[in-house]
Chain A
């Protein structure tokens, strides 16, 4: 097995504003994101040789072929629950690395608000057709709450300490999101507001949960050796890891719910490929899958940003804030952007791509001297995750 490090470049990206886009169809969003990405790469739709669609709820590649009027080229739909965004980039990257295409397009999107989703769906694998709900149908919040309850207990946090630690994560994400014009929720919140918010799934309250949003994001990929013909400030794929768990949390009683095993495996693959030994030092920015505040906390540990059980200290110390040692979710995260499932991974990549180029839209959010960053995208539920870790950087 070889590595694809520095073999595939991202030369264009696009991202819609995220939000409750009642007046925009999935096709509107697809076209907007793709057009921005193509314009960013300086090419036209006719230059694209193959495409990948990332969506959880829509069917087939035709969903993007139709609005973009792609002319009989290959279009594949990739789906891996909440990890769909990065999976689509990954499938495209392998095809480019295999040498069979020179210029490919990835479009990821989700139209959540056309149906009456009051929150993220429960067990996504049973949705939409897998099974009658004759058994447990916890909400996603309910599933992640299991991890929060267990984490507090394992590391001796009282419910109040635990809630406050999680609240700090949400306060930070809201702060960042308030500085991002494409975010859905652009409002700072206080610790008191977070702690006292209505309960969703104890111990997770309203502000511990990400929003439900429409959005789309797109990317243009090419071979690294051709990248300079598009632009000077292209970025390359440094590391790529995916891990899918065998559902151990559902059968094995030694699965402890306080670390994400799939994230550890995926991160290991990505770090190995990128040659990263100390992620906390070597990464300049990280976008982490924070569908819930507890998701970000545990992900930071499982990605090796801090030792297990010690995220609280780093959160208290501000390690993951904009001024901190390793800014996490500088975009505002899923917390501020919401989570149009298929689009999130690609949207996170968009932020890291812009940070590396020094082009974060709102200057107050731009970090200094970003060389490489990590994107973490996680699907499924605690106990049976799939996880994607993508590392991109300046060539």
Chain B
């Protein structure tokens, strides 16, 4: 049996009230903080998915997004490093289309089915941008999902899949565009979305001899809050009982990961034996039928996993378009500059490479002689002085406490003040780090924190990622 063995999701802490975009508009949309992008969200969703999973047994990682920060250079390898996966795995970026996530899932299933991998993780994340004050600006939210595909301890077995390829210009963005473009809305949605995703779902049902009533839930992509009902109606699903809530009023359309996030939400509620439909759309469509197994309880029982529900429940709402625009990096490029205008500051790819285990994997050194955890890794132990005898230890999944802190009014031009704590990690290790996703006034000595993978800045076309501390998210 092959199918889903674990799941995870990520919704940024921050929500923008739609009222900030258009006076009186209802609801909120999830938005990245200024230090988040598709890669950081994918790392967060991957970490959520890895709860209860041995990272050493993951054989591949797919990253699906329309918003990789690089035009040339793989993003999946960064996500795999952030997730601290093995080195001898296969990584791939699936890009360009809104269905990149479900297409990635299909290839992962095929790889496991073919026996070339025992476990593959599919991550999807998007941070799409509509033109200022446009309908897209209101509709689009940010988020990420991760699904693990494997051949043992399956929580939702793959019953069948069906794909369509369709050439249509309904949503696009050239490599020079900042904002999404679209055409007549009714053309895009009737000839594109409704027609094509229905075709894929109908094909899936026909091929696998399934009927609409067999499904407990359908988790399908939708461009707007209401369009999903057109698809349900066309295929005979009951919009009230069978269609998974699309969280449009609290999150928005998250693009590539959207269908997968809805699927995660469905799994959170599903009973063993339930049949769940997952369908993604974009230049065609992919549809899958999954049957939930008894194993689901084990995965669902892991309290560390936040999935969709906990992530959606934990939020901070802003109602300030200027702040949102600043965080998107669209007001001006100051997020791309260091604090000091020093002309010698350059990012060294050699150093980034040499210290990749520390920077991306957040690994420290544990002294073999005295057991002290040294971060950053030292040549000689800071505790006992023993030279060169360290085990590499993962610190990204450890919690910590704030030992002392300040609120710095000069270090950042986007977040003022920026909280700068000195952190003690559980199990040892001390370091200074930036703090994010917090309310500065609430930070206290002794406060608990966890680590989060973030983008520090962009310079010379290099995206510099590193870890920050956040308060423990509810």
Contacts and interface: CB of A to CB of B under 8 A. Distances in A.
- Determine direct contact between A and B, CB below 8 Å: yes
B163 interface: no
Contact of A121 (B340, B359, B445): B340
Interface in B318-364: 338-342, 344-348, 351-352, 359
Contact of B410 (A131, A141, A153, A252): A141
B404 A252 contact: no
A146 B375 contact: no
A204 B406 contact: yes
Contacts of B432: 136, 138, 143, 146, 250
B406 A134 contact: no
A149 interface: yes
B464 A134 contact: yes
A253 B428 contact: yes
Given A132-B459, A136-B433, A145-B406, A251 B382 contact: yes
Interface string B364-405: 000000001011101001110000000000000000000111
Interface stretch (B2-10, B240-248, B255-263, B417-425): B417-425
A119 B339 CA distance: 10
A73 interface: no
Interface in A223-258: 246-248, 250-253, 255, 257
A253 B430 contact: yes
Contacts of A142: 406, 408, 410-411, 420
Given A128-B344, A133-B338, A138 B420 contact: yes
Contact of A138 (B348, B372, B411, B428): B411
Contacts of B359: 134-135
Contact of A149 (B352, B405, B417, B466): B405
A85 B403 CA distance: 33
B454 to A, nearest CB: 10
Nearest to B465: A134
Given A146-B406, A251-B430, A131 B351 contact: yes
A201 B403 contact: no
Output the residue of B346, B407, B465 with the most chain A CB within 10 A: B407
A83 to B, nearest CB: 21
A135 B465 CA distance: 8
A311 interface: no
Contacts of A252: 372, 382-383, 430
Given A250-B382, A251-B374, A150 B404 contact: yes
Contacts of B342: 115, 121, 127-128
B411 A137 contact: yes
B408 A139 contact: yes
A200 B383 contact: no
Contacts of B404: 146-147, 149-150, 153, 257
B391 to A, nearest CB: 15
Nearest to B432: A136
B403 A253 contact: yes
B465 to A, nearest CB: 7
A247 B403 CA distance: 17
Interface string A145-167: 11111100100000000000000
Contacts of A44: none
A268 to B, nearest CB: 21
Nearest to B359: A134
Given A136-B420, A149-B405, A199-B409, A251 B372 contact: yes
A129 interface: yes
Contact of B340 (A122, A147, A248, A253): A122
Nearest to A139: B410
Contact of B341 (A115, A119, A250): A115
Given A133-B457, A136-B432, A200-B410, A117 B340 contact: yes
Output the residue of A116, A135, A204 with the most chain B CB within 10 A: A135
A200 B418 CA distance: 11
Contacts of B193: none
A119 B403 CA distance: 25
A99 interface: no
A294 to B, nearest CB: 11
A118 interface: yes
A21 to B, nearest CB: 20
B383 to A, nearest CB: 6
B431 interface: yes
Interface in B163-215: none
A91 B462 CA distance: 42
A202 interface: yes
Contacts of B403: 150, 253
B434 interface: yes
Contacts of B430: 250-253, 255
A252 B347 CA distance: 29
Nearest to A153: B445
Given A246-B382, A252-B383, A201 B410 contact: yes
B81 interface: no
A200 B407 CA distance: 8
B351 A138 contact: no
Nearest to B374: A251
B434 A136 contact: yes
Contacts of B346: 129, 132
A153 to B, nearest CB: 6
B417 A202 contact: yes
B404 to A, nearest CB: 4
A295 to B, nearest CB: 14
Contacts of A121: 340, 342
Interface string A199-233: 11111100000000000000000000000000000
Nearest to B344: A128
Given A132-B464, A135-B456, A247 B406 contact: no
A134 B404 CA distance: 22
B435 to A, nearest CB: 10
Contact of B382 (A139, A248, A257): A248
21 contacts: A122-B340, A127-B340, A132-B345, A132-B346, A134-B466, A136-B431, A138-B406, A146-B404, A146-B422, A149-B405, A153-B404, A200-B410, A201-B417, A203-B406, A250-B376, A251-B382, A251-B383, A251-B430, A252-B382, A253-B424, A253-B428
Interface of A: 115-119, 121-122, 127-129, 131-139, 141-143, 145-150, 153, 198-204, 246-248, 250-253, 255, 257
Interface of B: 338-342, 344-348, 351-352, 359, 372, 374-376, 378, 381-383, 403-411, 417, 420, 422, 424, 428, 430-434, 445, 456-457, 459, 462, 464-466
Given A136-B432, A201-B407, A251-B383, 12 more contacts: A122-B340, A127-B340, A133-B339, A145-B406, A145-B408, A146-B406, A200-B410, A202-B407, A202-B408, A203-B406, A246-B382, A251-B374
Closest 9 A/B residue pairs (Cβ): A145-B406, A251-B382, A132-B347, A134-B464, A202-B407, A142-B408, A128-B344, A150-B404, A201-B408
